[in-house]
Homo-oligomer: A and B are copies of this chain.
Amino acid sequence: MSDKSVQKKQYIIEKAREVFVEKGFKEVTMKDIVEACDISRGGLYLYFQNTEELFEDVLKLEQEDADDVFGQNISEEATPSDILALFLKEQKKELLSKKPSLNVAIYEYFFKHKVSAKDNLLKKQFDGAVYVIEKLIQAGIQSGEFYCEDPRGAARNIMYVLEGLKIASQTRGIPETAVDREILYVMQGLIADE
């Protein structure tokens, strides 16, 4: 594939992402993509055979972009609890964001394509986040900020709560207070028991 082709493919993926954000996964037709990209019907098929293929590439892009979420904009002297709080704040922002995200499309896609657990993007992201949170908690314990007997369990609990909040926000909407409450509850579990 030529350089130009790669660029065009990238262009399609980016435009497609917008469409998936707006309409979810199932609703999206090849025609939608064609129109969003302002290319010809046949042209799209040169790059992607169907919305599945396209979405998979959108996901790959997503993953790359997401890989550097942690560890960014974190000042040197931030404490573990600062970092965790920052992470949760970030999650909160996303949960409450009015502009639609790729989340619904991702859910819809994975309802149909329960990929072998191994290379399931969702699992990878979840596990990755659990790992980082666990490390943060351990660091917090070291520094005396946190108290926790089961850091991994706590990390997992946090992530499942976030997942629950996420699906809740997508299906019924949740007020900011609800998110705050859950975050607070979770953080208190780590510090309360002095």
User: Min CB distance, A169 to chain B, in Å?
Assistant: 10
Residue of B nearest to A25 (CB): B26
Q: Is A161 an interface residue (CB 8 A)?
A: yes
Residue of B nearest to A185 (CB): B153
Copies of the chain in the assembly: 4
Q: How far is the CA of A189 from the CA of B192 in the complex (A)?
A: 12
Fill in one digit per residue for A48-62: 1 if any B CB lies within 8 Å of its CB, else 0.
000000000000000
Query: Contact at A104–B111, with CB atoms within 8 Å?
Result: yes
A5-13, A70-78, A85-93, A116-124 - the one binding chain B: A116-124
Residue of B nearest to A113 (CB): B171
Contact of A108 among B26, B117, B150 (CB under 8 A): B26
Query: Contact at A111–B120, with CB atoms within 8 Å?
Result: no
Q: Is A45 an interface residue (CB 8 A)?
A: no
Among A153, A154, A186, max chain B CB count under 10 A is at A153
Contact of A172 among B122, B150, B170, B192 (CB under 8 A): B122
Q: Is A168 an interface residue (CB 8 A)?
A: yes
Q: How far is the CA of A186 from the CA of B107 in the complex (A)?
A: 26
User: Min CB distance, A53 to chain B, in Å?
Assistant: 19
Q: Is A156 an interface residue (CB 8 A)?
A: yes
Interface positions, chain A 101-160, Cβ under 8 Å from B, are 104, 106-108, 110-112, 114-115, 117, 120, 122-123, 126, 149-150, 153-154, 156-157, 159-160
Report 15 cross-chain contacts, Cβ distance below 8 Å, ordered by A residue: A106-B171, A107-B107, A111-B171, A114-B173, A115-B172, A120-B171, A122-B171, A157-B161, A160-B161, A160-B182, A161-B161, A161-B164, A162-B164, A189-B189, A193-B193
- Chain A residues at the B interface, C-beta cutoff of 8 Å: 24, 26-27, 104, 106-108, 110-112, 114-115, 117, 120, 122-123, 126, 149-150, 153-154, 156-157, 159-168, 170-173, 181-182, 185-186, 188-189, 192-193
